[in-house]
Structure 1
C-alpha cells in the first residue's frame, strides 16, 4: 500500500466518530459530548417497503453499501440528520451503511421488530403467546448488531401496536414490558446507554393516554426501566398549503405534550392528500411555537413505493435514482430553517419529574389504567444476564469511497454529476446547506425507461397481491 493510500485510510479512520452518541436529558435529545440539543430533521428509510426486506436473500435496508452511499449523498444534500429504519436483519453485516451515515452526520433510529413470524408482538388473542424468549432473542439480536454504532440514536420497541381504541386495553402493559427488557439488556450488554422509545399511531381518542401510560414511573423513583425514553407520533394531520397550526391541531398536540418528561417528535409526517406536497408544516414544526415541546420529526418517506405518493426519490431496478418534486419542495423548506440555532439551542431546561403511574393519568374508560405489567418470559432473564448466543456485533469501519457510482437525476430528468458524500468533522451532525438540488443536473432531460431501467422502479411490487396489500395499508392509515 502506498503512503498516500495509508494516509487516506488514516484520514477516514480519524473520521470514524463523525457523530457523537445522543442521550436523553429531560425532554430533549442532547449531544453527549457538546451538550447541544438535537432537533431531529429526518426521513423514514425503508428501501422497497416491506418487499425490500429479504433476509433469506441477505437484503435489508442497511446491507448494501453502494446503495447507502448513493442515498447518503442525496440525503446529505437534502439536509437531514436522522433516518428511521423499520425492518433489519440482525444477522447481516451493516458496517458499511452505518459507517457511511455516520460519516455524513446522520443518526439512525432502529425498529427492533420485523414482519416475520416470531419477530413482533401479535395483537389479539395471540398477544401473550407472542411475548416469549424467542421473540426476545430476536430484539436483543438487533441491539447486539447495532449498539457499537455511535450514530444509533435509539430503538423503537413498537410501532402502532395501539392502532385503535380496543387495542388500548390489552396492549400497553406489553409495550412497557418489551421496553423494560430492551433497556435491561442494553444496560447489561451494551457499551453505552441507548434510548428506547415507542412510535404511536395518531388515534386521538387514545393518544394522550398512550403517552401518559408509557412515560409515567411505576416505581416512583424516576428510574423505571419500563418507562419509555422518548415518544414518537405518526401524524398526517397537516395537509396542503391551506392547513394552519390550528386546523391541523398542532396547537392541541403542543398543549397535550407541554409537560412531557421525555422527548416527543413526529416519527412520521407528510400528508399526501394534496399533491405535490409543499411541506409547509416544516416551518411550524421547527418554529418557536413547537420547539419548546417537540424535538422535530421524520418525513415519510425517502423511497417512492407502489406509486403511493409518499416518496421523495424514485429508485429503479438498476440502481439509478431520480429526485421527485416532493424532494425539491422539502429541501426548500429545510433550507429556510436556522439549523445552527435549532441544534445549539438551550438543552438545560428544567427536568420535570416523571409522574408516578396512577389510574388518574388515564382519561379514557376503555384504556388500560392498571400498571401490573407482565413478567419477563421464561428464559428471557438468562438472555439478559448472559447475552444472546453468538451475537453479530457491528462496528464502524473506514469509508474510503465517497463518489456515487450510480446515475442520479434531478427532478427535471437531468443527470447530477460529481455526486459525493462529504464526511463531517467529529461532533457534527448534518444540517440543511441552504443550497437547492433542483436544476443542478447537466444535459437535457431523459426518459426514465430508456436510461434508468426498463423493468421499472425497484419498489413496484412483484405481484398483484403485494399491490393489494399496500393499498390495504394505505386505506388503514387514511
Structure 2
C-alpha cells in the first residue's frame, strides 16, 4: 500500500465521526463527488466579511477564526441553498478547526485563495520575478498545510486577476510556476489530491489567450497546468438576456473545455436590487455542459455595494432583498440536471501547448517556458515547511445561532440554526431552511443597534397607515 493510500485510510477513519461531505475530485471537464459519483455544480457565494481591508498580518482573526460568527453565517448560507463559498484572505497561523467544521457539518465546501493583498503575499504582476521566492511560497504552502486535512476544502486558487492590461507578458508563466509548486507540495504532503487553478478577469480581449495558456499541457512541466478555470464575470446586469449578457459567447468558448470552468465571481450591481435572473441561465440546459456553476459576489455588504447580508458591529445581521431574490432563483434550479454526469466531458484530455494557441502575444509568451523553482522552494516541496499549523475537523456541538438575525422587513428569523447533514451530503437549495420570520418588534434595542434594512421612513409610513385606519374606525 502506498504512503498516500495509508494517509487516506487514516484520514477517513479519524474523520468518520464528523464527516458531512466527501472530497470533490476533477474528472475531465467536471467536478465529481467521489462518494456518490454524481456531478458537482458549484452553487456558491464569495465570503470575505469586512472586505480585503479587514485582513492584515497583525490581525488575530480572519473569516474562519470565530466559531460563533461562522455559525451565524453558515446558517444563513445553508438556508440560502449554498454548497460552496470562496474565501480570499486567510491567516495560515490561526486555528480554523471549529469554523471549517461548522461549514463542513452544514454541507458547504470551501475554495480558498492562497494569496492576500499584502505585497509579499502575492505575485507582483509588473515584476513577478521579484516576488516568486522562498518567503512567498512558504506563505502559500502554509495555507495548504492549514487546510489540506479538511475534507470540505474543494480547491485552491493560485492567483486572482493577476493578468490584465497592466501586467507584463512574463506573469502568466510565473502563475503556472506557482500552480506547479502547489500541486507538487500537495502531492507530497496532503492525504488527497486538491485541485489548483486560476481565477481570471472577464476581459474579452485577452480571455481566449488566458484560457488557452492555462488549460494546455506542457509536456516537460505538466504539473503547471490549471486543474480548473475560474472566471470573474459581471456582464449580466438586471433583467438581461442570454445573448445581451454575452453568455452565448462564453458557451461557445468553453463548450469543448477539458477542465472545469465556473464563475468565480458574478452578480452585476448596476441595476438594484439585483434579481439574479442569470442563475436560471447558468444552471440551465444552455450552459450546464460548458460551465460548472458559480459564486455570487458577495456575502457581506461592503463599501462596493455587492452584499446580500448586512453585518453589524454587535454581530447581529440583516438579510437584504438581494438575499431573498437569490434564494428564490436558487429554488428553481433543476438539481437532477446539474448532477447528471457528461460521460464525454469526464474523459476529455487537455491539448498540448503549442505557439499557435496564443493569438495575441502582447500579453502572453507563446513559448510556454515556465520558471524553475527558486532557491529554497524545492526543499520545502520535498520536506515540507517548518512547524506548519495543521487543521483538523472537530465535533460541532452548537447548532443554534447566538446572534439575532433579521430579514429585510425587520422580522427576526426565529430558530435559525444549521442542520448537521448526513455523511457525504452537501447542501442543496430548499432542503435546509431554518429561520422563520417572526413578528416585527420596532421597539427592540437589538434592531435599533442592528440598523435593519427596514428604514425609519418605512416605519413612519406604517404608523401613518395605522393611524389612518384608526381614524376610519372612529
Name the TM-score, length of structure 1 as normaliser.
0.88
The alpha carbon displacement at 1:411 in A equals: 1.2
Label 1:433 to 1:68 Cα distance change in 2 as closer, same or farther (>3 A): same
Given that residues 15 and 423 in structure 1 are in contact (C-alpha distance below 8 angstroms), is that contact kept between their aligned partners in structure 2? Answer: no
Q: In the alignment, which residue of structure 2 is the partner of 1:267?
A: 264
Based on CA coordinates, which of the two structures has the bigger radius of gyration? 2
**Total equivalences in the alignment:** 439
Q: Does 1:182 align with 2:193?
A: no
Distance in 2 between residues matched to 1:192 and 1:13, nearest whole Å? 14
Which residue is 1:432 aligned to?
A: 429
CA contact (8 A) 2:289 2:342 kept: no
Residue 16 (structure 1) aligned with residue 14 (structure 2): no
**1:50 to 2:48 alignment:** no
State the alpha-carbon separation in 2 of the partners of residues 146 and 59 from structure 1.
Answer: 16
Residue of structure 2 equivalent to 1:206: 206
> Distance between the aligned counterparts of 1:19 and 1:169, measured in 2?
40
Among 317, 322, 327, the residue aligned to 1:331? 327
CA 1:350 to 1:409, structure 2 compared with 1: closer, same or farther past 3 Å? closer
| Counterpart pick for 1:79 among 81, 86, 107 | 81
In the alignment, which residue of structure 2 is the partner of 1:228? 226
The equivalent of 1:154 in structure 2 is 155
d(CA) in 1 for partners of 2:98, 2:203: 38
Given candidates 418, 422, 425, the residue that maps to 1:421 is 418
Per-residue CA deviations over 1:337-386 (Å, capped at 9, x if unaligned) read 12244234446635222111011111113132121111101110000111
Alignment of structure 1 residues 70-469 onto 2, 5 Å: 70-124=72-126, 126-164=127-165, 166-167=166-167, 169-219=169-219, 224-241=222-239, 243-306=240-303, 308-346=304-342, 349-368=345-364, 369-433=366-430, 440-444=436-440, 446=442, 451=447, 453=449
Matched-pair contact (CA < 8 Å) for 2:103–2:109: yes
Kept after mapping to 1: 8 A contact 2:125/2:168? no
For 1:294, what is the secondary structure of its paired residue?
coil
- Cα shift at 1:54: 4.0
CA-CA distance at 1:155 after TM superposition:
0.1
Give the unaligned 5+ runs of structure 1: 1-11, 458-478
2: distance between equivalents of 1:357 and 1:449? 62
CA spacing shift, 1:410–1:53, aligned 2, 3 Å: same
Question: Equivalent residue for 2:457?
Answer: none
TM-superposed deviation, 1:168 = 6.0
Q: Distance in 2 between matches of 1:412 and 1:231?
A: 39
2:460 corresponds in structure 1 to none
Partner of 1:468: none
Query: Matched residue of 2:359: which SS?
Result: coil
Per-residue deviation, 1:442: 1.1
Shift of 1:167: 2.1
Deviation at 1:123, TM superposition (A): 2.0
**TM-score where L is the length of structure 2:** 0.89
Structure 2 unpaired stretches of 5+? 1-13, 454-474
**Contact 1:168/1:206, CA 8 A, preserved across alignment:** no
Q: State the distance in 1 between where 2:130 and 2:305 align.
A: 37
Whether the aligned pair in 1 keeps the contact of 2:25 and 2:33 (CA below 8 Å) is: yes
Q: Contact 1:41–1:81 at 8 Å: present in 2 too?
A: yes
Q: Once superposed, what is the RMSD of the aligned Cα atoms?
A: 2.1
